[in-house]
A and B are shown apart, each in its own frame.
Chain A
Amino acid sequence: MTASAVLYHPVVVFTLCMMAGWGVYALGRALAPASRVIGGKLKTYACGENVEGESFPTAYHLYHAAFIFTLLDVVALVLGTVTGTAIVWMVAAYLLVGLIAIVILFKD
């Protein structure tokens, strides 16, 4: 393992970039005026209304899309990680699963 092999590893690159982003924060901290908390400055922004509460209920109506996404994404990942001649059969199977999934989605 040479130094460059380690430094180009995705995890290491990601960490370095996180540090670079933190550098942007540090620059901002140097440039920005000190924070003055006056009145409702830290309150949740809701068009000026005074909302209390730390989380807000959401209704979700796209479960079928989430289902299809999970199905296809997992299969795509499996497909992406196999190599060699098996690939064409994997593609065929994948096509089948994908088409069935889409048919189910738009059945009604």
Chain B
Amino acid sequence: MLDGLVKWARGKSPWVCHLNCGSCNGCDIEIVAALMPRFDLERFGVLLEGSPRHADVFLATGPMTRQIRDRVVRVYEQAADPKFVVAVGTCGVSGSPFYPGYNVLGGVDAAIPVDMYVPGCPARPDAISYGVLRLLATLDPKAEALVKEIEERYDTEGLVYTPEEMAQQRDPVEGARG
């Protein structure tokens, strides 16, 4: 019973911490937009926390640059378990236009494990909130119902990719990268 309670609580109260890995600030502004009154993520319990020690979900934006890699890894390690990462924006997904650059290692997953991908340049606020909800649905069965309802009502095709879906999408690309 306690287990169920804990699962419910984790799904109900994701505190997010915003992690900029080298983004152009476009995605960061969209994250802030998602937290603003129009989308109001607080109704799902999302709170913006400054310290990774308090956070459950990292919203990581931008391509992973060589300069910031160690810092991102350190911040990720300093957060308490259980912790999740949502890669926001096409840069966060793959490094996008910056990828072959001398200073870019790829997407966020070049340094830390990613649990949900939200592409888009910049990612839309509704896509970001949908990504966080999809992540919560893996924790809490009740959130799953909400995600189903959203999928029935809106066209969510291609808004968000799980790591498995992303691996499928990438397969040919992966080969080219060597």
Pair A43/B74 contact, Cβ less than 8 Å = yes
A33-B82, A40-B77 are contacts. A45–B71 as well, Cβ < 8 Å?
Answer: no
Q: Does A50 contact B (CB under 8 A)?
A: yes
Q: Does A9 contact B (CB under 8 A)?
A: no
Chain A interface residue bracket vs B: 10 to 19
Pair A39/B51 contact, Cβ less than 8 Å = no
Chain B interface residue bracket vs A: 10 to 19
Pair A40/B74 contact, Cβ less than 8 Å = yes
Pair B51/A38 contact, Cβ less than 8 Å = no
Complex alpha-carbon distance, A87 and B72, angstroms: 62
Pair A45/B77 contact, Cβ less than 8 Å = no
Contacts of A31 in B (CB 8 A): 2, 6
**Nearest A residue to B78, CB-CB:** A45
Pair A48/B72 contact, Cβ less than 8 Å = yes
Pair B75/A47 contact, Cβ less than 8 Å = yes
Q: Does B81 contact A (CB under 8 A)?
A: yes
A31-B2, A31-B6 are contacts. A43–B78 as well, Cβ < 8 Å?
Answer: yes
Q: Which residues of A contact B (CB under 8 A)?
A: 30-31, 33, 35-36, 38-41, 43, 45, 47-50
Q: Which residues of B contact A (CB under 8 A)?
A: 2, 6, 51-53, 68, 70-75, 77-78, 81-82
Q: Could you show 13 A-B contacts with beta carbons less than 8 Å apart?
A: A31-B2, A39-B74, A40-B73, A40-B77, A41-B77, A43-B74, A43-B78, A45-B53, A45-B78, A47-B71, A48-B68, A50-B70, A50-B74
14 further interface pairs, Cβ-Cβ under 8 Å (given A31-B2, A36-B81, A40-B78): A31-B6, A35-B81, A39-B73, A41-B78, A43-B77, A43-B78, A45-B78, A47-B75, A48-B70, A48-B74, A49-B71, A49-B74, A50-B70, A50-B74
